[in-house]
Structure 1
């Protein structure tokens, strides 16, 4: 097996399967690097992405097994429920904490590629929110190339658009052109570029957490005054001004993903409150009827007030929830 000395890492989320198929169709079969792919997938089951990508292009594609050797000209796909990481000349799997609610997470793969010091091309395709942007910045800081799918082509432009906002030197191309240009970018990279930036304590700490190694997340920054949606522990800023957070357990969140998760948590809490209020109003109505039959005017007024108060609160919450549903974009 040829020793690897370069990497291609690709991340995608919503709308990413079509973008990946198009990109892979443009890759030359003699590309001098392994290609590692993370697509956000629900935990459980088996991904059919390797067979999809193998049919789309001219390269073999496999679902990664832990410590699988990496070879040039092959595609390695993260299985559901595991982070995909670079470990020397092998691919490693980890059941480390979720990042922005995802495992596999794109940032985890990208950071591990930056840490490997192998010259790397990192690509971010269609998806919502901003998983992968911080990891792509780490690749650039270590001499690699950042590439974003043209947001006007992406089915969900949030992720590539975030790359173009946050990484000024990122290249923007349609997905087919990205595949066709990978070999050219790889040829322009050098080992010296990858090692030039030196170590990054924050990146090393986050990579250790993704690998489930050590307890370095005990040394995060100041508390942010926000709770983790996954475990409800306090979140700390990963790095001042980074708009990224981790809890003591290790769950990671970008600010955008955190806001999205809080909205889901709030909606769940409001539906629970609505159910409780409607049940309370129903029970108060029954007690009011019984009090009326017994001729107890005081209890009639007390339960009547409770019935009206709970009913009014329930109507306000229901109207808010229904309005939020109408404002949400329809699923594709």
Structure 2
């Protein structure tokens, strides 16, 4: 367990609207900020990110893009890079291309879980503006391990869904506007508190191991974490394992999904499949009409016209259904 005099490890996660919330937070951090801060923001995996430069210009503290193996220094903001989980390994940063979680890499859950394992009672999790629920389970792990859970006030967030989920499901310790989180961290005197008796330490550490490994490494999650769920992983098509009663899942490769994120991913796939079906119906109409025009009057032309009519009816029904009831979670 970390010494009570060691600096806090403050892990901050955000999604949509997160840049605005992060700049508001770091703008109110003093130059003598005594704790380590790590930031994970959902971003395109193959893109580039100027987040470290933005945060560096937004306040008094230096912000750097995290490097694997680099020491985690108090008073420095360590920022995740696209396509890599940002994790804590002792007193160093660890960048990993481990399996995505809720479709994200970097994942907020992966960061928070890692900080919970490494820092225990010296851990602080801060969840800011965003959609979905990536980060909620990680925040619960921090709190269960004896750390502090903080959420941005939903009224202060551009996208209140993510902090709202944390407030509702975790029962966070503090709910504050982003600009007031920094000053509160300066006043925080984190005294050890006992970990939750419901905390599954073995699962927490095993999931942290998965996040820190290669995304192409196969993990025996079926043997370690739960039972088959009957669902398939949207990332790889593998069988999903139900790892708890809160509808959290992992596949054999290690991709992780909350029930909410899985529902969103399924909706996206249904949308795509129905769009393909609608396009195929329109192509069928066009082809059948073209064949009918080039055919002589008779049974063959009648058959082509019937195909076109049936496809048009199906396309009309499907288009109307999609317009009235889009597949959105």
The verdict on a shared fold, with TM-score over 0.5 as the criterion, is yes
| TM-score, structure 1 normalization | 0.90
Partner of 1:265: 269
Q: How does 1:36-185 map to 2 (within 5 A)?
A: 36-118=38-120, 119-185=122-188
CA distance in 2, matches of 1:198, 1:262: 30
Structure 1 spans left out of the alignment, 5+ residues: none
Of the three residues 207, 212, 231, the one matched with 1:226 is 231
Cα displacement string for residues 246-265 of structure 1 (whole angstroms, at most 9, x for unaligned residues): 11111111111111111111
Please give the alpha-carbon distance, in whole angstroms, between the structure 1 residues aligned to 2:96 and 2:325.
37
Alignment deviations for residues 18-75 of structure 1 (CA, whole Å, 9 cap, x no partner): 1111111112222221100000010223311111111111111000011110111110
Matches within 5 A, 1:165-314: 165-185=168-188, 187-190=189-192, 200-212=201-213, 215-219=219-223, 220-239=225-244, 241-291=245-295, 293=296, 295-296=297-298, 298-314=299-315
Q: Taking structure 1 as reference, are residues 4 and 94 closer, same or farther at Cα in structure 2, changes over 3 Å only?
A: farther
Distance 1:194-1:25 versus aligned 2 partners, 3 A rule:
farther
Q: Structure 1 residues 197, 188: closer, same or farther in 2, change over 3 A?
A: farther
CA contact (8 A) 2:220 2:252 kept: no
**Does structure 1 conserve the Cα–Cα contact (< 8 Å) formed by 2:41 and 2:106?**
yes
Separation in structure 1 between the aligned mates of residue 240 and residue 24 of structure 2, nearest angstrom: 39
Taking a change above 3 Å as real, the CA distance of residues 134 and 234 of structure 1, as seen in their structure-2 partners, is same
Aligned-residue CA RMSD (Å): 2.2
State the alpha-carbon separation in 2 of the partners of residues 51 and 4 from structure 1.
28
Cα displacement string for residues 233-274 of structure 1 (whole angstroms, at most 9, x for unaligned residues): 1111121x1221111111111111111111111111111111
Q: What's the secondary structure of 1:152's corresponding residue?
A: helix
Q: Distance in 2 between matches of 1:228 and 1:195?
A: 30
Offset of 1:216 from its aligned partner?
4.2
| SS in structure 1 of the partner of residue 159 of structure 2 | coil
User: Normalising to structure 2: TM-score of the pair?
Assistant: 0.91
Structure 1 pair 309/157, CA: closer, same or farther in 2 (3 Å)?
same
Which residues of structure 2 form unaligned runs of 5+? Answer: none
Quickly say closer, same or farther: Cα 1:255–1:54, change in 2 above 3 A: same
SS of aligned partner of 1:68? coil
How far did residue 99 of structure 1 move? 0.6
Check the 8 A contact 2:30/2:60 in 1, yes or no: yes
Instruction: Give distance in 1, aligned partners of 2:196 and 2:229.
Output: 33
